[in-house]
Amino acid sequence: MTSPDRVAPYQSYVYAYPHKTAYRKLDDRPPLSTLWAAEPKDALSLYLHIPFCEIRCGFCNLFTRIGAPDGLTTAYLDALDRQATAVRAALGEEAPVRFATAAFGGGTPTFLTAAELERLCDIAEHRMGADLRAVPLSVEASPATATADRLTVLAERGTTRLSLGVQSFDDTEARAAVRPQRRADVEAALGRVRDARIPVLNIDLIYGIDGQTEETWLRSLAAALAWRPEELYLYPLYIRPLTGLGRRADGPDQAWDEQRLRLYRTGRDHLLAHGYEQQSMRMFRRADAPPQGADDYACQTDGMIGLGCGARSYTARLHYSFDYAVGMHQIRSIIDDYVSRPATDFAHAEHGRPMNPDEARRRHLLQSLLQAEGLQVADYRARFGGRTPADDFAAELERFADRGWLESGDPHAAVLRLTPEGLAHSDAIGPELFSPAVRAAMAAYERK
């Protein structure tokens, strides 16, 4: 069954819930030692954020700035070192602290020099106690910064996955997305990544770019597949406020929605026909790719330690970070504030969102349901005192079933799994599961 009312398929990419626009200043500035006192610490995730890029793509609303004046990357790593020291002390010594996964993101972590990347790894290992050679370590890079010396450092320090933001192999499309690059340079970067022998190469591609056709989209896919990447992420283009392309946004565009859906289905079917398995709306993995562990998927549980001024951390009762912005002037101010902070400032949470049981259930449901393997109801029951998704979200699940988005159509099934059409509409399903309180906070957020 399908709903007679059209549902816009591209509403919001839900990569974390609640979104940082729902965070607010925490007047009580709770000590991290109190927040983490009762938390399990034997399988934590570690994320280090580097908020620098050589350029800022027209579609990007990530927390990053273009370039870094002399001395700023050193000052940033100094602050990251102070923060790591304070956070590790707050975790305490009463219970074993172990990191099960690690990731460097941004921005572009490989904006740092090879020597600075060595220092970044040292902070993760010597300050936080993460054994980078023993856990999955994912690092994001751009073609321009994926140089041989940087990749050598990352490979030697234990990187198991390198994600390269290509977006398009078509130079004209790259310029239309305000990402000026030459295909020859992209191909050279991919060659260097393969030479570094990092086990998993991921290539990011974007569909829905102005002027893109099914023919040019398939050419980009073919160019990517020539490198036999272990993973591919296919992202729909979004035009967001305060981004380069956002200045040209005109509001909802049904024709563009239809174009993106058409290109999504073309890309999905092409990858499935070439030996890839779909993990989510965006993620495809080669069937014979080495496993990467728990960092493959959105984390439904808690226990995330984020370091850096754009990183977020998760405990069971509070998600927290630093202030958030998209505009370049405000981002620069937040970074300048971060690098000037004394170590004592990093022992407290300053911006965040308290998590009550309802929000925790929503988070678990949406981040499980948006994976191709779906949600195991037994896991939900075990985590939430015997309750089921049908107990908590009957109206939403019935609506998804009516639209043909749930595989069985039975909200009481042992596994809740999206149909192919449901996966295609992941960016509509996620926002429908936001709580009224989170929706209100996001709507009240003052863009900056």
Quickly tell me which residue has 């000052």 as its tokens: 75
CATH code of the domain covering residue 78? 3.30.750.200
Q: How far is residue 28's CA from residue 117's CA, in Å, rounded to a whole number?
A: 35
The DSSP code sequence of 156-223 is HTT--EEEEEEE-S-HHHHHHTT----HHHHHHHHHHHHHHT-SEEEEEEEE--TT--HHHHHHHHHH
- Closest listed residue to residue 167, CA positions, set 255, 249, 57, 8: 57
Verify that 101 and 213 share a domain, yes or no: yes
Examine residue 37 and state whether it is found in any structural domain, yes or no.
Answer: yes
Verify that 269 and 128 share a domain, yes or no: yes
Examine residue 346 and state whether it is found in any structural domain, yes or no.
Answer: no
- Closest listed residue to residue 107, CA positions, set 180, 163, 34, 159: 163
Verify that 284 and 375 share a domain, yes or no: no
Examine residue 333 and state whether it is found in any structural domain, yes or no.
Answer: no
DSSP for residue 38: T
Examine residue 321 and state whether it is found in any structural domain, yes or no.
Answer: no
Element (H, E) at 265: helix 254-273
Phi first, then psi, for residue 37 (nearest 5°) are -55, -45
Verify that 272 and 377 share a domain, yes or no: no
Q: Which of 247, 271, 296 corresponds to the end of one domain?
A: 296
pLDDT values of the chain reduced to their tens digit, one per residue, 448 residues: 334 467 999 998 888 899 999 999 999 999 999 999 999 999 999 999 999 887 665 555 566 677 788 899 999 999 999 999 999 999 998 878 999 999 999 889 999 999 999 999 999 999 999 999 999 999 999 999 999 999 999 999 999 999 999 999 999 998 887 677 899 999 999 999 999 999 999 999 999 998 899 999 999 999 999 999 999 999 999 875 544 444 445 556 889 899 999 999 999 999 999 999 999 999 999 999 987 654 443 444 569 999 999 899 999 999 999 988 877 788 889 999 999 999 999 999 999 999 999 999 999 999 999 999 999 999 999 999 999 999 999 999 999 999 999 998 787 889 999 999 999 999 999 999 999 999 999 999 988 7
Examine residue 1 and state whether it is found in any structural domain, yes or no.
Answer: no
Maximum CA pair distance of the chain?
60
Residue 222: CB partners within 8 Å, gap ≥ 6? none
Examine residue 185 and state whether it is found in any structural domain, yes or no.
Answer: yes
CATH code of the domain covering residue 432? 1.10.10.920
Verify that 292 and 361 share a domain, yes or no: no
What is the tens place of the pLDDT at every residue in 420-434? 999 999 999 999 999
Domain enclosing residue 188, as ranges = 21-296
Verify that 228 and 120 share a domain, yes or no: yes
For residue 162, what pLDDT is reported? 97
Examine residue 347 and state whether it is found in any structural domain, yes or no.
Answer: no
> What pTM, to 2 d.p., does this model score?
0.92
What is the tens place of the pLDDT at every residue in 91-117? 998 878 999 999 999 889 999 999 999
Q: Which of 260, 278, 296 corresponds to the end of one domain?
A: 296
Tally of domains within the chain: 2
Q: Where are the alpha helices (DSSP H) in 340-384?
A: 357-369, 377-383
Q: Which of 296, 317, 344 corresponds to the end of one domain?
A: 296
Element (H, E) at 194: helix 183-196
Verify that 37 and 173 share a domain, yes or no: yes
Verify that 218 and 70 share a domain, yes or no: yes
Verify that 255 and 372 share a domain, yes or no: no
Cis before 18? omega within 30: yes
Verify that 375 and 265 share a domain, yes or no: no
- Closest listed residue to residue 147, CA positions, set 120, 111, 180, 181: 111
Verify that 376 and 270 share a domain, yes or no: no
Verify that 158 and 284 share a domain, yes or no: yes
Q: Give the tokens for residue 111.
A: 């904006």
For residue 61, what pLDDT is reported? 57
Measured in residues, the chain has a length of 448
Round to the nearest angstrom and report the end-to-end CA distance of the chain. Answer: 42
Q: How far is residue 52's CA from residue 64's CA, in Å, rounded to a whole number?
A: 5
Residue 128: CB partners within 8 Å, gap ≥ 6? 46, 84, 87, 88, 99, 305, 307
Answer positive or negative: Cα dihedral of 124, 151, 295, 331. positive
For residue 231, what pLDDT is reported? 97
Does residue 259 sit in helix, strand or coil?
helix
Query: By the 8 A CB rule, do 47 and 310 touch?
Result: no
Q: How far is residue 345's CA from residue 341's CA, in Å, rounded to a whole number?
A: 6
Cis before 107? omega within 30: yes
Examine residue 221 and state whether it is found in any structural domain, yes or no.
Answer: yes
433 CA to centre of own chain: 19
